[in-house]
Amino acid sequence: MKVILVEDEKHARDNLEHLLLQIAPNIEILAKLESVKRTVEWLQNNQADLIFLDIHLADDLSFKIFEQIKVTTPVIFTTAYDKYALKAFKVNSIDYLLKPIDEEELAASIEKFKTTQAAAVDYTQLQSLINNPKKTYQQRFLVTRRDKIMSLTVDQIAFFEGEDRYVYLINKEGNRFIVDYKLSDLEDILDPKIFFRLNRSFIAHFEAIDSISSVSKSRLKVDLKPKARRDIVVSSANTKHFKAWLNK
């Protein structure tokens, strides 16, 4: 079996080579590479049976290799980062190994390669995943009221309000709960299809918007349900985005 090792850390590369030769002394290591650039160059002119591919390389993420050339050789990914390993694993890689690499897990990966090496590996899925990552959004918020702890789903939330140094979650029944978030943090974790930042103080759920009226040529007044304690005006700079969001 002919393999290449793509790893930018020498000690990790040497350790992998040592383990491979212990597990399968007949393995032939054709090349030891450390970058996307050198790997692309090598694969354009050579062929191996299996690639051991670190996800973080000297010049970029190794996923960039698949954007430059078509790779038909099976891959076992190696990484110290779970989130990248899981991405790779879910899109048809032969396997992935978390560093520090365990000898038994490496042996199992090689055995898996031997039994699945005839199967085609679709790296277009990998490219699509990296180019268009699916972001996940917060679905529930843990809140307390007196001595009770509750978990509210986003569908139970009417809006968030920033007041003084606190941020409040207001549910559809009008109950107010202090949450340990800044409004800017909430913008990052709430689904923008459902929630909109109306101004510096309010983020509203689409279903909480009761009525909208013009207060000037470029500013809008928004009434929520349940009713907020103060008037909510969408600034002229934000009005265009707000209308576009309402029209999606």
Tokens 């918007």: give the residue: 209
Rounded average pLDDT over 5-16:
92
How many Cβ atoms from other residues are within 10 Å of residue 117's Cβ?
A: 14
Q: Are residues 26 and 111 in the same domain?
A: yes
- Give tens-digit pLDDT for 70-107: 888 888 888 876 665 565 565 545 578 888 888 998 99
CATH of the domain at 207: 2.40.50.1020
**pLDDT surpasses 60 at 129:** no
Q: Give the least confident one: 27-41, 57-71, 88-102, 133-147.
A: 88-102
Q: Which of 200-204, 212-216, 238-242 has the highest mean pLDDT?
A: 200-204
Q: Does 31 share its domain with 113?
A: yes
Bridge partners, 50 (sequence order):
3
pLDDT of residue 228: 96
Instruction: Describe the crossing of helices 82-89 and 123-131 by its angle, rounded to 10 degrees.
Output: 140
On the question of pLDDT at 136 being above 70, the answer is yes
The pLDDT, as a whole number, for residue 38 is 96
Query: Do 11 and 114 lie in a common domain?
Result: yes
Q: 154 with 126, same domain?
A: no
Select from 131, 162, 187 the last residue of a domain.
131
For the stretch 85-90, contacts whose Cβ atoms lie closer than 8 Å and that sit 24 or more positions apart, written own/partner, are 85/55, 87/126, 87/129, 87/130, 88/55, 88/63, 88/126, 90/129
Task: Specify the pLDDT at position 96.
Answer: 80
Q: Given this model, what pLDDT does residue 131 score?
A: 57
Using a pLDDT cut of 90, give the percent of the chain over it.
56
Burial class (CB in 10 A: 0-12, 13-18, 19+), 63: buried
| 23 has a pLDDT exceeding 60 | yes
Note whether 88 and 186 are same-domain residues: no
Number of domains in the chain: 2
Domain interval for residue 77: 2-131
CATH number reported for the structural domain that contains residue 86 in this entry = 3.40.50.2300
Q: Where residue 141 falls among pLDDT bands split at 50, 70, 90? A: very high
Of 174, 227, 164, give the one whose Cα is nearest residue 200. 164
Q: What is the pLDDT of residues 147-184, one digit of tens each?
A: 889 999 999 999 999 998 899 999 999 999 999 999 99
90, 107, 131: which is the final residue of a domain? 131
